[in-house]
A and B are shown apart, each in its own frame.
Chain A
């Protein structure tokens, strides 16, 4: 039944397709068009003097991909990688960036009318990259605008690096 409803919504084009993942106790979602692939945790090479949220770089089939730890970025405590830890490789603009998440759940079709603007009280996190909150029954999915997550990171990174050079 749920399938039929989803299908109907898909047909009318009134859904957003997101890849949902967990981070701490919360569930986040990013637009599926920004996700390139999801890989298991691999060894991350530390890059000295890089901004603190920059975990390092990985080798993805011969390409270097910077890895951002969303936990650090969002001010959550760091945890060791587990079996379910994943790297979501995203492509924004023409830049590939990997983000480390606790686990990846599924691809969701969220009806557009179920997506609300971010509540004001979340403002502390820096709401510029929270697009809204999607409701799927009891679940709340925080929809991230990765372009903003990364561009504001870059800005910050740039300031950090410039601040570090004498």
Chain B
């Protein structure tokens, strides 16, 4: 990284983040605006918020020389300005124009930042926009050609016109910026931003209310708006800074080191204390005077080690918390998605979001977006019935999709529920037979039928749409969730709807693990998948088709010998096996280890970017003594065992 005074790259990155956030907000505002078209009630604060967002993008874009961004943002801003000043009625056409413009703006931002080719169809769009705006702009010449701000403030004070006032606020803000800039340049306080250089008494007096006046109605307007609008809530004054996630990771790494050293110091303190006690009780005569000096030091060391331990734990927890972000960051883009898909498929859908403030680790937030997007598309496309069908079934024309997130213990649960037709199991069965996944004689439970939709390439959609039905979807969703150590579940009641449930760990960085020893190496097994651990005598281990199994409370559990799986060699105990039973979504496997070494909280470090993906291993951790322990990937072990053991199980239960 260069130490240049003006680091353009950094500014561009900042611009991108900021623009992304603002475009998201614009999307949210537009969705509300669209509702306004239907209800006929306009919230001026919403249009103002839209205007401000566009204005900021225009400004930042211009500063970096992104003229395309600046130009388009300016045009859209103009459009909003007309709305704001009531020069133009709110209509579906306007909202569509804004939506379209917002999308083009997104592409422009992307193209400006990444150097990707600029979006196509802009010329057509702008000419359409210009034509549309031209009709209204003529009438607004008076406003454009205003003589001075005083006039407006009078308007504001007298007419209590909110829109007008906010316009003034923007102007006042710009004037304030200009003043501050001038101040910075000259080093002199610049009092009046107006072209009124004579330091006469009246202008500043006129200026004072000018700055204050807009603030009040503005605040008053914002208050009621803030009640129902979470966008508003998030936009409120939170003191935040942006930090590169890599810096946080580096910090976390260092804290990990600190934790290790803390453990070491505690060990030393304990050892020293024990030695002192032993010697004291043994009445060692050689100690004499030195004991008197060392004893208090040992006590001090023990005290400070304890304090260090506490502080370190707190630091670690705090950093973990810093990495937590509200899942709303992901949810924000869904209303627009649902609207677009619903529109394209001729459906009426209402998306209700709750729990957007639920926190979870940034890395998971980033990863969970795509699976959720698939689910929502799927719900709109397959779940919700067309309005007419719904009416026939005695439901409201508009379907409802609920997106809900909440914490449960150490997990976050995300649910996507629709009140559509549910999964048509007969269709799934027919499709499964047609695709050769099952045979017509197979007696499958409902659950097993539902599982079929997770098969790659499976789709029940009659018509392959551009939205879903291409057979990429459910299997990808499941794979992604599994990769995040999450659980993916589907409930469906025919005619009433479908619920997708995603359970994810709050963080991927720290987990509770059971340490086990296998041929001289320590391995960590994530505790959340451990059901129990036990010692089993060899005679109780039976084989089915050459696979070792045990029966646990009437259930046949296949065994996987870790030493064999990892090709470690090592001698087998002829009398007993130590088994860790792990379970995943109802499947259980017994992992055979040499010994159990206790539970510990471990910091996961990814291994795949270090040595590539290794089957059966999901990462590594550094233990208190500085040594490395590999973390066992229970998912892959269980599925591996079931691929080879399924036949065995079927045979066994058939006895």
Binary flags per residue of B624-655, CB closer than 8 Å to A gives 1, else 0: 00111110000000000001000000000000
**Chain B CB within 8 A of A63 CB:** yes
| A46 B567 Cβ-Cβ under 8 A | no
**Chain A CB within 8 A of B278 CB:** no
Choose from A46, A51, A161, A165 the contact partner of B521 (Cβ within 8 Å).
A46
Choose from B256, B614, B620, B643 the contact partner of A49 (Cβ within 8 Å).
B614
Residues B246-301 near A (CB distance < 8 A): 253-254, 256-257, 260
* Bound complex: CA A50 to CA B610 (Å): 11
Residues of B within 8 A of A49 (CB): 566-567, 614-617
Choose from A48, A65, A166 the contact partner of B610 (Cβ within 8 Å).
A65
| B626 A59 Cβ-Cβ under 8 A | yes
Nearest B residue to A154, CB-CB:
B612
**Chain A CB within 8 A of B607 CB:** yes
Residues of B within 8 A of A47 (CB): 607, 611, 614, 617, 630
| A62 B254 Cβ-Cβ under 8 A | yes
* Bound complex: CA A166 to CA B607 (Å): 21
**Chain A CB within 8 A of B605 CB:** yes
Residues of A within 8 A of B622 (CB): 59, 62, 64
| B607 A165 Cβ-Cβ under 8 A | no
Binary flags per residue of B578-621, CB closer than 8 Å to A gives 1, else 0: 00000000000000000000000000010101111111110010
**Chain A CB within 8 A of B568 CB:** yes
| A161 B253 Cβ-Cβ under 8 A | no
A contacts with B: majority SS:
mixed
Nearest B residue to A165, CB-CB:
B615
Choose from B614, B627, B643 the contact partner of A43 (Cβ within 8 Å).
B627
| B616 A166 Cβ-Cβ under 8 A | no
Nearest A residue to B644, CB-CB:
A166
Residues B517-570 near A (CB distance < 8 A): 521, 566-568
Q: A48-B566, A59-B626 are in contact. Are A158 and B612 (CB under 8 A)?
A: yes
Binary flags per residue of A123-166, CB closer than 8 Å to B gives 1, else 0: 00000000000000000000000000000001001100100111
Report which residue of A43, A64, A157, A166 has the largest number of chain B beta carbons within 10 angstroms of its beta carbon. Answer: A64
| B607 A64 Cβ-Cβ under 8 A | yes
| B257 A62 Cβ-Cβ under 8 A | yes
| A48 B617 Cβ-Cβ under 8 A | yes
Residues of A within 8 A of B257 (CB): 61-62
Residues of B within 8 A of A64 (CB): 605, 607, 610, 620, 622, 628
Report which residue of A47, A50, A61, A165 has the largest number of chain B beta carbons within 10 angstroms of its beta carbon. Answer: A47
Residues A39-88 near B (CB distance < 8 A): 43, 45-51, 54, 57-59, 61-66
B400 CB to closest chain A CB (Å) equals 43
Nearest A residue to B563, CB-CB:
A48
| B567 A57 Cβ-Cβ under 8 A | no
A72 CB to closest chain B CB (Å) equals 15
B65 CB to closest chain A CB (Å) equals 29
B479 CB to closest chain A CB (Å) equals 15
Residues of A within 8 A of B630 (CB): 45, 47-48
* Bound complex: CA A58 to CA B628 (Å): 7
* Bound complex: CA A43 to CA B520 (Å): 13
Nearest B residue to A54, CB-CB:
B611
Chain B residues within 8 Å of chain A by Cβ, number: 28
B607 CB to closest chain A CB (Å) equals 7
Residues of B within 8 A of A46 (CB): 521
| A48 B616 Cβ-Cβ under 8 A | yes
Binary flags per residue of B231-257, CB closer than 8 Å to A gives 1, else 0: 000000000000000000000011011
Q: A59-B628, A62-B257 are in contact. Are A45 and B521 (CB under 8 A)?
A: yes
* Bound complex: CA A113 to CA B37 (Å): 78
Report which residue of A48, A54, A157, A164 has the largest number of chain B beta carbons within 10 angstroms of its beta carbon. Answer: A48
Q: A49-B616, A154-B612 are in contact. Are A63 and B628 (CB under 8 A)?
A: no
Nearest A residue to B605, CB-CB:
A64
Residues of A within 8 A of B612 (CB): 50-51, 154, 157-158, 161
Choose from B260, B609, B627 the contact partner of A62 (Cβ within 8 Å).
B260
B513 CB to closest chain A CB (Å) equals 16
B565 CB to closest chain A CB (Å) equals 8
Choose from A57, A59, A165 the contact partner of B611 (Cβ within 8 Å).
A57
A162 CB to closest chain B CB (Å) equals 9
Residues of B within 8 A of A164 (CB): 615
* Bound complex: CA A154 to CA B622 (Å): 24
Nearest B residue to A164, CB-CB:
B615
Nearest B residue to A42, CB-CB:
B626
Binary flags per residue of B39-73, CB closer than 8 Å to A gives 1, else 0: 00000000000000000000000000000000000
A145 CB to closest chain B CB (Å) equals 21
Nearest A residue to B616, CB-CB:
A49
Residues of A within 8 A of B613 (CB): 161
B437 CB to closest chain A CB (Å) equals 20
Q: A59-B622, A61-B257 are in contact. Are A45 and B627 (CB under 8 A)?
A: yes
* Bound complex: CA A166 to CA B639 (Å): 12
B517 CB to closest chain A CB (Å) equals 13
Residues of B within 8 A of A154 (CB): 612
* Bound complex: CA A95 to CA B253 (Å): 16
Residues of B within 8 A of A51 (CB): 612
B interface residues (Cβ-Cβ under 8 A, vs A): 253-254, 256-257, 260, 521, 566-568, 605, 607, 609-617, 620, 622, 626-630, 643
Known: A45-B521, A49-B616. 12 other contacts (CB 8 A): A43-B627, A45-B620, A47-B614, A48-B568, A50-B612, A54-B611, A57-B610, A57-B611, A62-B254, A64-B610, A64-B620, A154-B612
14 contacts between A and B (CB under 8 A): A45-B620, A45-B627, A45-B629, A45-B630, A46-B521, A48-B617, A49-B567, A49-B615, A49-B617, A51-B612, A57-B620, A62-B253, A62-B254, A66-B611
A interface residues (Cβ-Cβ under 8 A, vs B): 43, 45-51, 54, 57-59, 61-66, 95, 154, 157-158, 161, 164-166
Please give me the 5 A-B residue pairs with the lowest Cβ-Cβ distance, nearest first.
Answer: A48-B566, A45-B628, A62-B257, A66-B611, A66-B610
